[in-house]
Amino acid sequence: MNAPASKTAILFCHGILGHPRHFDFLLPEVPGDWTVCNLLLPGHGGSVKDFGQSSLEQWTDCYRAALDRLLETHDRVFLCGHSMGTLFALQAAASRGTICGLFLLAVPMGAAPRPISLWNCLKYALGLIREDDERAMALKHAASIPPEIKLWRYIPWIPRFLELFRLIHSTKKMLPQVKLPGLAFQSAHDELVSHKAPQRLAAAPGLQVEILPDSYHFYLTDKDRETVIKAFRHWIAHHEFNS
């Protein structure tokens, strides 16, 4: 967190198993006089065991505590998230009238993992990802937990993903209450999220949904990445102009 005397703050939150570095390509676009809070959720950034011993309750408490601190000390607070992090942002936007805007990536409005995603996860766990496998390397870069070849140690992860599915369901019901302006980018080839997600997001009155035609859940092509960067830059400029 930086710029403690600023009036504007932005809260970033990664997805399940993710890492704050997911937003490295966007951080240079944030104005220097904004406070930046880029969360690492409990159980992330540690071991396979650490993640299994964490919980959705801990993640939610962490997000809410960070958001409460920012709302207490800043006039304007914006939210940016990837995957599960977008769900926390949407729920906050639905329940708090003090959020000023949303910038969302890969909102998981329905889980629909394709076989390739499961295969990439297995390759990651076994340390079999090749440097020339761009999509699998994007998963490896996004992950915050070192792989563990003893696969039975992942069993405690099952409740964490069941909690994620419940979070998706509860967020879906809150979408009509999301009336503040927001921008969501969904990847056309997302291997984890339902292809119906863009239509479901239409239930949020203030949300504009854009499709990245050549990208996946973690992997963005250079062209699509530049599209997101430009949109983020314009999104910030718009809110700066209207501040």
pLDDT confidence of residue 151: 87
Tens of pLDDT, residues 130-168: 989 898 899 999 999 998 888 899 999 999 999 999 999
Residue 169 makes CB contacts below 8 A (sequence gap 6+) with none
Model confidence at 240, in pLDDT bands (50, 70, 90)? confident
**pLDDT confidence of 2, banded at 50, 70, 90?**
low
Q: Which domains does the chain have, with CATH numbers?
A: 8-241 (3.40.50.1820)
For residue 1, pLDDT over 60 is answered with no
pLDDT at residue 128, as a whole number: 85
CB atoms within 10 A of CB 151: 11
Query: What's the pLDDT tens digit per position in 180-211?
Result: 999 999 999 999 999 999 999 999 999 999 99
- What does the pLDDT read at residue 24? 97
For the record, the structure tokens of 155 come out as 């069993």
Q: Per residue in 21-61, pLDDT tens?
A: 999 999 999 999 999 999 999 999 999 999 999 999 999 99
Q: Return the pLDDT at 145.
A: 93
Q: How confident is the model at residue 106 (pLDDT cuts 50, 70, 90)?
A: very high
27 C-beta neighbours (distance < 10 Å), count: 15
Non-local CB neighbours of 214 within 8 Å, separated by 6+ positions:
188, 189, 221, 223, 224
128 Cβ neighbours under 8 A, 6+ residues apart: 122
pLDDT at 5 over 70: no
The residue type of 184 is A
Of all residues in the chain, the percent with pLDDT exceeding 70 is 97
pLDDT for residue 152: 92
On the CB side of 116, CA atoms within 13 Å amount to 13
Residues near 185 by beta carbon (within 8 Å), at least 6 away in sequence = 104, 105, 106, 209, 210, 211, 212, 227, 228, 231
> Bridge partners of 103?
80, 183
How many residues are there in the chain? Answer: 243
The one-character DSSP state at 108 is -
- Residue owning tokens 């940016």: 80
Q: CA–CA separation, 161 vs 17, rounded Å? A: 10
- Output the pLDDT for position 110: 94
Closest CA to 209 of 67, 90, 52, 70: 90
